[in-house]
Structure 1
Amino acid sequence: MSHTRLGLVLVLLLCIVGPVSASVGTSSPNAPVLPDNGCLDDTNGTGGGGITDMITFNQTGNITDVNIRVEMTQTWRADIQAAVTYTGGGGTVVLANNHDTSGDNYNATFDSEAALPCSDATLCGLTTGSPCETAPGPICRPNQSLTSFNGLTCPGTFTLAVCDRAAGDLGNLVLWEVTVTGDGGHVPVELQTFSIE
């Protein structure tokens, strides 16, 4: 292939693919997940009845991928319910609900393209020596797919809801992070809630 043809092919590819970029929003509430045994919907795992925290993305653009990372302390991992919603649509996406383990903490990056679900017996489903015990934790699939947000537009706000589903064990939502990939260029982030130390 000549240099002229190669250059033409590269230009065409750039025109077809277009700009793709990712922006990351982080919030560090370090807030207790209260009340103990406070989940309102133990079956569906929507995280209602506990605490919520928000991260806003301001610029216009189309969402092509969403990943969410959490850092939570907890003395009984199976007590944690976590779900996320977006003001632009996509419904409620359950990230974690009733992982059958008594292990400590929940640290993970939820990625719908990951090879294994977070509940897998080698990941957050493992009681002793789980990679979820220490941050940043594994990259794994949530209970429900985050692809529900693909194709939606910014600006918009993601809300994380976390609750405790059984009595006797408590923890904190230390940090959570949303990575949004879009085709509309850089998507700035505005934190709605945060802690100052």
Structure 2
Amino acid sequence: MRVFAAMAPRDTAGALRLAEQWLASHPGDAVVWRALADTQLNAGQVAAARRSYEALLRLRPDDADAVNNLANILVQQSDPAALPMAERALALAPGTPHIVGTVGWAAFKAGQTDRAVQLLRDARLRDPSNGDTRYFLGSVLASLGRDAEAREELNAALAAGTGGQHRAQAQQLLATLK
């Protein structure tokens, strides 16, 4: 893991190969599965990250963060299993702000807009510095035509240090609301 951690920032592909080689002979190593999945997700390798999170969850089915990350991937892939997966994560870690936010976003993508607003407002109150939650809430509010509220959330999402993974999308959406 030390070699992987040292390699990942400067040679992501090499670090991923190293982890995959390790897992070929040590398939029960949950720590390496998590590192591999997280790195794949951060590198934009969504399909590979999904497979790695699924492998991790076969070893640790009650890992709330892995369930949550898999739910986020399922949302990205428009998979109808996203909302049940997000709800499973929330059942494993009730009240966890980023997980509440994932459930809210999955609810929105599943057409449950009112529930999404409620959940995303709850997540924002629990962790107002989470840029992804602020982006999600801003997106939902924009879809409802509540542009002033959406702008407020998107500006907060873009504030220093809180851009999250959806910074570019937040900037694009904000530009359409001006």
Name the TM-score, length of structure 1 as normaliser. 0.22
Choose 1 or 2 for highest CA Rg: 1
Which one has the bigger strand percentage? Answer: 1
Which structure has more RCO (C-alpha within 8 Å, separation ≥ 6)?
1
